[in-house]
Structure 1
């Protein structure tokens, strides 16, 4: 059974003093994501990927349609949905250990239990030797690992990830992608991952939802038939290359059509 369902979702942002016309960001979006599936939302910048993610996170309400998690309407953020943002969402004045401990402490966990969990999750993301460092002492990739650990320690069954590796250099990005794949293999959480990078989507996902230029719609969904576990070397497979070309052509044709219409 799908544990995330989006039916006929539309998001229209009202006009402003500067721009009086409303903006239709999403139009008639439909998708169903079963438990433990890794899904990527793939599309060009500005197509509404993050808007769709924010609907599922409960940060936005649809203008029309509905969003359900486990058959219950989404009425705001919830602990079952952990969100990892584009930039590392950490408190700069707290150490790594204190950042990761923040959520469990807020929920009233004992000091001993929190300390044990913090060490466990810092170790999982490779930051245990840096537990007493401040975020400013970490690299960009390390700060994103810290942000991921802050979410994982709360053990949400659903991870919503909004281009979390987009600002990283190529080598660090591969390391973070492989870390995420390793964590997913262990925990099998439901993941929705926003990206505009075709290779990233094919490396990570069980299914890729291809989104159009604005207003965002689901153009297609593609099941990725590549065996797991995966690493970056899967990009050498013929099936990977064929899918990459097919997705590139879909996105290119949609962009060209939109440009001609405009």
Structure 2
């Protein structure tokens, strides 16, 4: 992996995009994970205004401390970096009260509220982006965005640009080391931070990112009959999640009206 070339490519791409869009720079949500750590650093390297938002919602203490340590490190290295910490827990709790309107149990309720956390953060990013003339910079990687769809539609998937979406998770970790991110970010175990209990990505998905990457790199060239053992298990996980996430990955469907009907 040619880390220096990739870094320079992304930084130049971000800078050119912002300048062509006539905006001042980017706003990035910083979670304490490696993806947001790398993206926020790349944005800072453009020299453009980079606003970091730390937005805990019932967040685990280690996630908050990693995010704050990373923000402090970036601010010490880049004068164009600013940061705001916003505790969104009270806002989320109010939404919880409003949305939880009846006593009936819904199987998807916990997932719906987890996604509400991501959408509340998206709303916050766009609010402060608009106030400051900034674009919202996404932090999704290739496996999450185009493999298994492991993100919230109109949540962390609601962004203006996505600079690392062509990088696999393992490559993002390599960039984190190359960019000299703080050790706790470089070693952070992937988690989406959307649950009250500490659930890692691997626990939710049932596979590691390296396992998923192997399947994604062979996707379309191999089928189920080509796999056995653990690879077959991961293939089935990848296939199921990819199929279920097509509504996220594909453009919004539009019902075309025949032109002759307009007369």
Structure 1 length as normaliser, TM-score? 0.29
Structure 2 length as normaliser, TM-score? 0.28
Which structure is higher in helix share?
A: 2
Which structure is higher in strand share?
A: 1
